[in-house]
């Protein structure tokens, strides 16, 4: 018995070394395995995309901060700046009292601050008595409409509830009558 013959793959499996080498060569041709060059290229592209994303995010954050700062200063100037009437007008206009200047400045500040900010238009709530009364009337009508709709959708529940309420009211009245008789 030859011990080296036991180690020979061709004899043991019936597959020659040439067939194994051909198979390995064909498998290397099938895409799916990335070469180190391909992996390095992908790593570089990924790093480039990440750096671009990070740069854009920093730029966006910087713009937001600048916008917020500008907006804050603009509103602060509108709200708290006190401009002298002589500096603004000056051409022979009669001088206004400080209270008139203050009222005009506040009105101008509100107009300038909120006039073009359309997002504030939806949030504005009128505070005059007539508008508040109209709002209250609308809410009452809306509540009545909801109640009617609920009653029409749930007649059995509503009838049972009314019946229970009447029974409670009768028992309450009966309790007060008996309490008055005993007292």
Full DSSP string of 61-122: HHHHHHHHHHHHHHHHHHHH----HHHHT-SSPPPPPHHHHHHHHHHHHHHHHHTT-HHHHH
Chain CA centroid to CA 176, Å: 56
Question: What is the per-residue pLDDT for 120?
Answer: 65
| Whole-number pLDDT of residue 153 | 92
pTM: 0.30
Give the pLDDT of residue 35: 80
Q: How many residues does the chain have?
A: 183
Nearest to 135 by CA among 121, 125, 124: 125
Q: Which residues of the chain have pLDDT under 50?
A: 84-87
């Amino acid at each position: 018995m030859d011990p080296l013959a036991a180690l020979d793959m061709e004899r043991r499996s019936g597959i020659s070394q040439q067939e194994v080498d051909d198979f390995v060569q064909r498998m290397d041709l099938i895409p799916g395995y990335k070469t180190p060059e391909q992996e390095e290229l992908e790593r570089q592209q990924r790093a480039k995309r990440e750096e671009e994303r990070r740069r854009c995010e920093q730029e966006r954050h910087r713009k937001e901060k600048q916008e917020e700062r500008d907006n804050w200063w603009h509103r602060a100037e509108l709200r708290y700046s006190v401009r002298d009437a002589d500096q603004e007008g000056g051409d022979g206009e009669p001088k206004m009292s400080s209270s008139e200047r203050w009222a005009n400045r506040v009105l101008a500040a509100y107009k300038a601050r909120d006039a073009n900010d359309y997002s504030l238009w939806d949030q504005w709530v009128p505070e005059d008595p007539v508008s508040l009364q109209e709002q209250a009337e609308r809410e009452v009508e809306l509540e009545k409409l909801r109640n009617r709709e609920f009653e029409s959708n749930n007649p059995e529940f509503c009838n049972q509830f009314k019946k229970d309420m009447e029974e409670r009211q009768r028992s309450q009245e009966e309790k007060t009558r008996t309490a008055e008789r005993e007292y």
